[in-house]
Structure 1
Amino acid sequence: MRRRFWAWFAVAAGCLLVAPAAVAATVPAGPLNLLLVGIDPRNDYTAPLADSIIVAHIPADRSGAILFSVPRDLVVPIPAFPKSGSPAQRTKINAAMALGSRIGERKYSAAQGFELLARTVGDVTGIRRFDGGAVLNFGGFRKFVDAIGGISVPVDQDVVSEHRKPDGSLRDRLPQCPGHDDCHRPYIGAQKAYPKSDEPVHFSGWEALDFCRQRYGLPHSDYDRQRHQRQFVKALAKKLKRTVISDPAKLAQVTAGVGRSLTFVGGGRGIADWAQALKILRIKDLTGVGLPGEALFEGGVYKGEQLPGTVGPFFSAVVQDRVGPFLRANPGVVTVDR
Structure 2
Amino acid sequence: MLLTSRGRRIGGRVALGLVSTVVIGVTGFAWTQLSRLDEAIVMADVIAPTAQVPDGPAGEPLKVAQNILVVGLDSRTDANGNPLPQNVLDALHAGSGDDGGDTTDTMIVVHIPAGGAAATAISIPRDSYVDIAGGFGKHKINSAYSRGKNAAMGTLRAQGLTGAQLEVKANEAGAKLAIQTIEQFTGLSINHYAAINLAGFSALSEAVGGVEVCLKEPVQDKYSGASFPAGKQLLSGAQALAFVRQRHGLPNGDLDRIARQQAFLSSMSKTVLDAGTFTDPTRLSALVGAIQGSVVLDRGWDVLSFAQQLRGMSSGALKFQTIPIQSLSLQTPSDGDAVKVDPAEVRAFVKSALSSSAVAAVGESTGGNGIKPVAATSSLSAPPSSSAGASAPLADAGCVN
Fold-level match, TM-score > 0.5? yes
CA deviations over 1:131-180 (Å, ceiling 9, x no partner): 32211011111011111211112224443233366xxxxxxxxxxxxxxx
Evaluate the alpha carbon distance shift between residue 155 and residue 59 of structure 1 in structure 2; reply closer, same or farther with a 3 A threshold: farther
> Is 1:288 paired with 2:288?
no
Q: CA deviation at 1:50?
A: 0.7
Aligned-partner SS, 1:193: strand
Evaluate the alpha carbon distance shift between residue 18 and residue 326 of structure 1 in structure 2; reply closer, same or farther with a 3 A threshold: closer
Question: What is the match of residue 123 of structure 1?
Answer: 184
Show structure 1 runs of 5+ residues with no match.
81-86, 166-191
Q: Scaled by the length of structure 2, what TM-score is found?
A: 0.65
Question: What is the match of residue 177 of structure 1?
Answer: none
Question: What is the match of residue 142 of structure 1?
Answer: 202
Asked if the contact 1:111/1:264 (under 8 Å) is kept, the reply is no
CA deviations over 1:204-229 (Å, ceiling 9, x no partner): 21111001011111110000001111
Evaluate the alpha carbon distance shift between residue 333 and residue 164 of structure 1 in structure 2; reply closer, same or farther with a 3 A threshold: closer
Evaluate the alpha carbon distance shift between residue 126 and residue 156 of structure 1 in structure 2; reply closer, same or farther with a 3 A threshold: farther
Asked if the contact 2:15/2:303 (under 8 Å) is kept, the reply is no
Q: Give runs of aligned pairs for residues 1-338 of structure 1, distance below 5 A.
A: 1=1, 6=12, 9-12=15-18, 25-26=55-56, 29-43=63-77, 44=81, 48-80=102-134, 88-101=136-149, 102-103=152-153, 104-105=156-157, 107-109=166-168, 110-128=171-189, 130-163=190-223, 192-197=226-231, 200-242=232-274, 243-247=276-280, 250-265=283-298, 267-271=300-304, 273-293=305-325, 294=327, 295-298=329-332, 302-308=336-342, 309-317=344-352, 318-320=354-356, 321=359, 325-327=373-375, 333-337=388-392, 338=397
Asked if the contact 1:5/1:258 (under 8 Å) is kept, the reply is no
Q: CA deviation at 1:202?
A: 0.6
Asked if the contact 1:16/1:37 (under 8 Å) is kept, the reply is no
* Mean CA deviation greater in 17-26 or 59-68: 17-26
Q: Scaled by the length of structure 1, what TM-score is found?
A: 0.76
Asked if the contact 2:355/2:373 (under 8 Å) is kept, the reply is no
* Mean CA deviation greater in 93-102 or 16-25: 16-25
Larger strand fraction of residues: 1
Asked if the contact 2:110/2:121 (under 8 Å) is kept, the reply is yes
CA distance in 2, matches of 1:68, 1:162: 29
CA distance in 2, matches of 1:71, 1:156: 22
Asked if the contact 2:129/2:141 (under 8 Å) is kept, the reply is yes
Larger helix fraction of residues: 2
Q: CA deviation at 1:4?
A: 5.1
Identity %: 25
Evaluate the alpha carbon distance shift between residue 247 and residue 329 of structure 1 in structure 2; reply closer, same or farther with a 3 A threshold: closer
Evaluate the alpha carbon distance shift between residue 36 and residue 100 of structure 1 in structure 2; reply closer, same or farther with a 3 A threshold: same
